[in-house]
Amino acid sequence: MKLSIVSGLNESNIKQEEVYSKFSNICELISEFNYDGIELSLLEPEKLDVNKLNEIIQSFDMAIPAIGTGSTFIRFGFSLGHHDEYLRKKSIERLDKYISFANELNSKVVIGLIRGRYSNLSSLKREKLNIKTSLKLCCQIAENNDVILVFEPINRFEIDSYNTIAESIDLLEEIGSDNLRLLIDTFHTHLEEDPVLIWDYLPEIASSVAHIHLADCTRRAPGTGHFDFREFLNIFKDAGYNEYVSVETIMKPSFEEVAKETAHYLSVIL
């Protein structure tokens, strides 16, 4: 099991030289705490020089395990489930760019907030159908690029569909692509799953999981709340999970403190 942490690069708003300097500084910082990688949350990955990123990350003997896509919905309003066909097509076009980018970095691509939310012009049933149809097209692109998409159940307060692990597993089985796997986030798990039954259910679906996000029930660093990370992570260790667990939290009091405290906390409980 390898450890990474999520960070943005603000690639759309600052000069490229500053982006690579920022990336290098983050890598240097987290390498001091024995991280194995950095997960990037990006808005316009096509603006970045993949060779330059690879050069920097490899110099620290780390990897970029996954690329976050949520800002596509937050900033542009494009989503896989949108009632407007044009905006659905734009979300798929954006994902095509993420997938091409991920192919060159040997990274996975996260399917989370990019699913969107439905409005009074649509319905939950229609939104879910749109997501399935759009996601099938994205899986074809991923298969052609040998990239894994990781689908994230997200709590009902942030998104309207596929909030639970079971719903998401059903969707993955319906689509039936080897390039579509599950991402589990401990914060969303805490909010959406049965607090008793979840511990028996996780071992059953562990083989479907290809990426994990870590955040406590406070949405801050692991150890700041009461989520049982020891039991959670041991379930995946026992199942032979050897992919990344990635810290995705509110970065307070600072990115450095979250990175440092999380690394220390995990080293103590595991």
Cα distance between residue 116 and residue 13, in whole Å: 24
Here the tokens at position 148 are: 């894994």
| Domain carrying residue 161 | 2-269
Amino acid identity at 120:
N
84-123 pLDDT, tens digit each: 999 999 999 999 999 999 999 999 999 999 999 988 888 9
**172: CATH:** 3.20.20.150
Q: In this predicted structure, what is the pLDDT of residue 121?
A: 86
Q: Which residues are catalytic?
A: 152, 248
- 268 CB-contact burial (10 Å; exposed 0-12 / middle 13-18 / buried 19+): exposed
- Does pTM top 0.75 for this prediction? yes
- 167 CB-contact burial (10 Å; exposed 0-12 / middle 13-18 / buried 19+): middle
Q: In this predicted structure, what is the pLDDT of residue 38?
A: 98
137-168 pLDDT, tens digit each: 999 999 999 999 999 999 999 999 999 999 99
Number of domains in the chain: 1
168-225 pLDDT, tens digit each: 999 999 999 999 999 999 999 999 999 999 999 999 999 999 999 999 999 999 999 9
For β-strands 66-68 and 180-185, DSSP reports them as unpaired
Q: What share of the chain is helix, strand, coil (3-state, %, to 5)?
A: 50, 15, 35
Q: In this predicted structure, what is the pLDDT of residue 122?
A: 87
